[in-house]
Structure 1
Amino acid sequence: MSTIDTDYHLPGYTTEFGGITEREIIGRGRNMQTVDPGLVALVESRVRKSGVLEQLERWSAEDANPDGMGGRPAAISFRALLTAMLILTHEGAPLHMSRAATLLQHRLDDQSRTLLGVSKASTAFATHTAINARWYNNTVRAFHRIIRLVDPYPQERYTSKTHTQIQQILKDHDADRADKYKARLDHFTRVMLNMSFMEQPRHIRRASKQMDVSFDQTYVGTPTTKGYSKKHLNSRVRSEQGADLGQLAPGPVDAFAGWHVKSGKGERNDYQKGEVDETAPGRGEYADYEWGWVANLAVRVDSEAPGSNRFPGLVVAASLSIPNMEVAEEATRLLQTAAAIDPTLEPGVADADKQYYANSKSFRLLVPSLEAGFTPSTDYRTDRMGVKGGDHGGLFVEGHVYCPSTPKHLLNASKMFLAKEIDAPTLRARLEERKSYRLHVKEKAKTPAGKVLLRCPALGKAPTVTCPLRELMVGAAIKARPEVKPEEIEEEFLDTICTQHSAAFDLTEMQSPPQAFDYGSEEWEQFHDHARNSIESENGQLKTSGNDDIETAGRRKVRGIAAAQVMITMLLVNHNIRKIAAFLSDKEKEKARTSPRIPLLRRRDRVWANKYTKTTGNGDLTIPRGTAAITLKATEPVARPISTPLRT
């Protein structure tokens, strides 16, 4: 008879409960296997290493009532709960508080309980229902203690609301408090992601000397899908006046979410703070709207060697926000976080799609990006290509300032390409020719804050065009260069750039901002494609059913944006750890593949030919090794290269 594991076959296995054990009943059919104490210690050390525990205690002391009497110590600490949540993400399990409670109650050995400060759980079957409920309630309370410290939008979330109640919640909202607690929530995410980033070996973190990022938004679902529109809120409130509340259909639960356009012709707006989001699904509108939040993500990319796989593309900054609200400001906070994640890495290039730099006013995103140290890389809106304004006579064209006498076919090259009037090779040739007419930066020049000093391309030691209004410097080598024709110059309309040595330009006023690479060039296209593919691939990995799946609200059933961001932060940390491990695994595989292989000897060459005399029958064996030779007796077992002759 085979041995039965008594751990899973307790009394009652074949009587009252049929084929179900008491252990399975206690755990309600969930995983009850003991977690490896080594894994618990590793995850707990990462939680401590992040510094989040000290920050939570600091916020708790800040929010505590100084006149209160206090209470008994919490049964489950922040450290124990965060460790349990990270272990669940490691296992690919949903982040349900019931699973976290089961882990803390049943799946820790004595060593892990001592480490986390968790008491030993009772295993009495007769009272398991009450005991399980107590552990679950204590776990939920521990989680909500964290949420209360970082929730910018506190409200009751257990019942559905009428539109009248939603309107009152919005009126009672404290915007100043929300800013304070939003900063706390983002700081929680920041320190946890920073910890995961620093888990990389130093030589991989610093494979590039700068931090290049690609950022974007992606939809994240809410546990409740019933939404409302601020555009129609007042009319809905009027229709509810005098109505029997019991007769009204169940309304939304979370007042602080929004409609996200996933596909179709709906517009993705970017309202500033204080503005009202009027996005709402319309009848007959060809657009796919979903009620929820958006995750703002910044992923590390490589501008020096796009696609070279020098380091893993980790999520270096993240946050959750309400769709259509403060898109540019959320991106700014991502860049500020990414710039500070590793002090040894200088901010580099920040890549984004048309939702960001192309649509945002400069003071909302471009200026803060430059102040954080990042240079933009993006695609321009089609209506902002070609000449879009200028200053001091210089023409603003796709991120640069050009001579007023630049030929029109060069100025409009991008527009002509989009209109299919020229092909790609012609576009590249015209963009390269257009560089000669670009105004030069005057080196070591003092300019007003935020401005750059530019001069005519026909001036300086290395002029790139020839202009009859400018005399070339004496002794300068005469080279073939584009020439401004005299008939193209209208002297009565000459501006500062043509009459003075230089002029100060504020490049942040351009509709099409300056970029790290010349727009439309092969270098720009290579990096932009790499950056966009990287962030889209990351979004796909994070939202695919499996280990992470940050989009599906069923894997994190607690309501509210703060709870969602805390849980998604844990998923992102685990995602980064897995990417680092996979990256290192691939490196080891590559190392093994390229290393010289030592062939194994056959068994008949490894053992004695005669077990009684312990000889091979060939006497002494001489094995060459390099230029020397080692003589071994036949009675000594050795590993020999296959090429070594065994018999003559």
Structure 2
Amino acid sequence: MTSNLDREDHLAKLRTRRLPIPDAEVHEVLAELEDSGLLAEIEPLVAQVTGRCRKLTVRALLLGMCLAAARNSGTVTLTSVANLLFFALSDEAREQFGIPRYPDHARGFEAGYGVVRRLFHRLVKAVDPSPLPKNHRLDRDLVTRLLNKADPDEITRKRSLMLRIANLILAMSLRDAHILLEGRWNGSAALDATVIGTYAKGLSADSPVTASDPDAGWYVRTAKHKDPLVTDVPAQERVKKRLYGYDACLVVARDPDRDGAPLPDGSANPDVVPSLVVAFSLDKPSHRPAEVALEALQYVDPRYPRGYLAGDRLYPDQKPHKFQLPIRALGYQPVYDYAKDQLGVQAQFAGAELIEGNWYCPSMPQPLKDATKDLVNKKIDKQTWINRIQQRTTYLFMPKQRADAEGHRRMMCPAEANRTQCPLKPYTLGRGIHLPLIDPAPSPADSPPACTQRTITLPPEAGAQLWQPLQYGTAEWQRVYFRLRNAIEGMNGFGKDPLYEHLEPGGTRRIRGIAAQAILLAFQLAHANKRKLATWAGSIALHGDQPHRRPTRRRKTKPLGTWTPKGYLAKTTA
């Protein structure tokens, strides 16, 4: 608002869209707030012991933000919050929350807006992990000095507070779905970082000053990002997408054991809960991806179980002590796909070989070891690859017992598991021609422990970077991996719909800084969850009646078991 005419015009538009808020809706939102734990978390952060009495409580501010999100597809602006709190609530509701009355003209609106703005920025300041001023282009030398002077422990504490509050806001959208998730979700989830813009113009890295949102960074996508199997991308390749903003790492719940297809009558299956965002974290694009992912996972409600965890090819490329081992300590079992340079034999331990995430007999035929590499290099066709993946099962090391509390596990070779016969273990011979005979390669050295001992103990760090419990390429792996990956990609597209939450552009979050962006994004993600649950509930046929709406028509998909790293088979042959 730069002039009196602009202010009056803006207020006139707000008045035309202003609808009275029923007291019943106010009480419903208040119940959600009371149950969320947000008030107890935020009120001590913004408490004041000196100065004039505050004209707006934290309870009233959060109420206004929740109401604004519900009316604007998750988008929360301080203008809309002030408009609802001071001019759309009933007199009884305003009296209950201690909200003062302002005249409905430009000066009255600006007074109310100032009250909302000051309290919100007080909250943002209390949880902002960045020591950099916002809304100014800062000299690079000044930025360096401020970052060097900042207390790392204080930054860590505030970042933890910021993510806790943001995830409490998100958790409000799961309040009604908690019973459904407890009974119809096995704890499996998909993990992915999706870019969201910020309302600031990004500057080049060699600029003497920063952008007015110095916490954000550039996101750049090339063809290599689109297809990680391509490793020879030229440096001068054309950029496909460039955006200045943040990476939001989302954790999306999905049970891969449930199909999710509509019932024969076209209604939604009431036993299959839709994919929902259960936690998230925020940081600069491609900045500490492993640590940011772990932050998000730590905010998943501890009441839920832990199952499989799938991510794109970024995550198998992380350091094991930063990602793979910590997620297993949290109770998740990783499910990966691999880039071209990660195929074939990946690691060895006590003679056993890790091939595309699973431990196999070292004497497994070489064509089976190189099956995926040969397919990518066009030495075999897709059906041959599928057949070789199935043949690998015979040579798979099998668990002797469950992993102990520290992650160590006793494993036995396929001969011990009665899957093969091996001359290095004479007592496994003579079991019948239906079991393959291992042909160990001659070696001047002694046979490795895996070939001489009945079992070996695999420590958790053995092959930790690329290990996964499911056999790569099998129908079971495809079912789990692709259903989880489809869930996260579908949720990204759902939340970025320009008719609803419109997550990607920065215009829906116009306050700069990572703390403000995290809080405003939490309301948008919460609205996406609520919208998805409402769509699913409306697609269910109850008591034999027709659903209120039909589920979205599904595209014709390929059956499981026909996927290969080079595409799908048109038809699976025997």
TM category, shorter: 0.7 to 0.9
The farther-off stretch of 89-98 and 569-578 is 89-98
Alignment of 1:321-470 (within 5 A): 321-338=283-300, 341=301, 343=303, 345-356=304-315, 358-443=316-401, 449-459=406-416, 462-470=417-425
Specify the alignment match of 2:565 in structure 1. Answer: none
Q: Does 1:579 align with 2:532?
A: yes
Q: Does 1:109 align with 2:67?
A: no
Q: Does 1:225 align with 2:201?
A: yes
Specify the alignment match of 2:570 in structure 1. Answer: none
Partner Cα distance (2:14, 2:324) in 1: 54
Partner Cα distance (2:501, 2:127) in 1: 23
Partner Cα distance (1:450, 1:283) in 2: 42
Alpha carbons of structure 1 residues 490 and 306: separation in structure 2 relative to 1, 3 Å: farther
Partner Cα distance (1:283, 1:483) in 2: 49
**Cα distance, 1:28 vs. partner?**
5.6
Partner Cα distance (2:249, 2:152) in 1: 21
Q: Secondary structure at the match of 1:114?
A: helix
For 2:66, which of 74, 86, 89 is the aligned residue?
A: 86
Specify the alignment match of 2:522 in structure 1. Answer: 569
Partner Cα distance (2:227, 2:431) in 1: 54
Partner Cα distance (1:133, 1:264) in 2: 48
Aligned AA (2:59):
R
Specify the alignment match of 2:238 in structure 1. Answer: 286
**Cα distance, 1:45 vs. partner?**
1.7
Partner Cα distance (2:164, 2:201) in 1: 28
Specify the alignment match of 1:100 in structure 2. Answer: 81
Q: Does 1:147 align with 2:124?
A: yes
Aligned AA (1:78):
V
Specify the alignment match of 2:483 in structure 1. Answer: 530
Q: Secondary structure at the match of 1:219?
A: strand
Alpha carbons of structure 1 residues 380 and 591: separation in structure 2 relative to 1, 3 Å: farther
Q: Does 1:177 align with 2:154?
A: yes
Alpha carbons of structure 1 residues 268 and 223: separation in structure 2 relative to 1, 3 Å: farther
For 2:168, which of 174, 180, 191 is the aligned residue?
A: 191
Alpha carbons of structure 1 residues 325 and 425: separation in structure 2 relative to 1, 3 Å: same
Contact 1:227 1:252 in 2 (8 A): yes
Partner Cα distance (1:532, 1:452) in 2: 28
Partner Cα distance (1:535, 1:201) in 2: 20
TM-score normalised over the length of structure 2:
0.84
Contact 2:82 2:116 in 1 (8 A): yes
Alpha carbons of structure 1 residues 491 and 432: separation in structure 2 relative to 1, 3 Å: farther
Q: Does 1:212 align with 2:188?
A: yes
Partner Cα distance (2:16, 2:512) in 1: 23
- Number of residues of Structure 1 aligned to a counterpart in Structure 2: 528
Partner Cα distance (2:40, 2:353) in 1: 54
Aligned AA (1:404):
P
Alpha carbons of structure 1 residues 553 and 473: separation in structure 2 relative to 1, 3 Å: closer
Aligned AA (1:91):
R
Contact 2:324 2:464 in 1 (8 A): no
Alignment of 1:472-511 (within 5 A): 472=427, 478=432, 480-485=434-439, 488-490=441-443, 492-510=445-463
TM-score normalised over the length of structure 1:
0.75
Aligned AA (1:407):
P
Alpha carbons of structure 1 residues 342 and 117: separation in structure 2 relative to 1, 3 Å: farther
**Cα distance, 1:55 vs. partner?**
0.7
Q: Secondary structure at the match of 2:353?
A: strand
Partner Cα distance (2:444, 2:319) in 1: 35
Specify the alignment match of 2:568 in structure 1. Answer: none
Q: Secondary structure at the match of 1:206?
A: helix
Aligned AA (2:452):
T
Specify the alignment match of 2:500 in structure 1. Answer: 547
Could you list the per-position Cα deviations for residues 555-575 of structure 1 after superposition, in whole angstroms to 9, with x for gaps in the alignment?
Answer: 221111110110111111122
Partner Cα distance (1:378, 1:391) in 2: 20
Partner Cα distance (1:516, 1:198) in 2: 32
Over 6 Å off, 4+ runs:
266-269
Partner Cα distance (2:38, 2:62) in 1: 10
Q: Secondary structure at the match of 2:188?
A: strand
Aligned AA (1:450):
G
Alpha carbons of structure 1 residues 47 and 322: separation in structure 2 relative to 1, 3 Å: same
The farther-off stretch of 255-264 and 327-336 is 255-264
Could you say which structure has the greater relative contact order, defined with CA pairs below 8 angstroms and 6 or more residues apart? Answer: 2
Percent of residue pairs bearing the same amino acid type: 26
Contact 1:194 1:316 in 2 (8 A): yes
**Cα distance, 1:217 vs. partner?**
0.8
Q: Secondary structure at the match of 1:587?
A: coil
Partner Cα distance (1:72, 1:426) in 2: 77
Aligned AA (2:190):
S
Bigger radius of gyration, 1 or 2? 1
Aligned AA (2:534):
A
Partner Cα distance (1:76, 1:34) in 2: 20
Alpha carbons of structure 1 residues 225 and 509: separation in structure 2 relative to 1, 3 Å: farther
Name structure 1 gaps, 5 residues minimum. Answer: 1-21, 237-249, 270-281, 596-648
Alpha carbons of structure 1 residues 413 and 283: separation in structure 2 relative to 1, 3 Å: closer
Name structure 2 gaps, 5 residues minimum. Answer: 1-7, 229-233, 262-268, 549-574
Alpha carbons of structure 1 residues 547 and 73: separation in structure 2 relative to 1, 3 Å: farther
**Cα distance, 1:409 vs. partner?**
0.8
Alpha carbons of structure 1 residues 283 and 388: separation in structure 2 relative to 1, 3 Å: closer
Alpha carbons of structure 1 residues 153 and 375: separation in structure 2 relative to 1, 3 Å: same
Aligned AA (1:286):
R
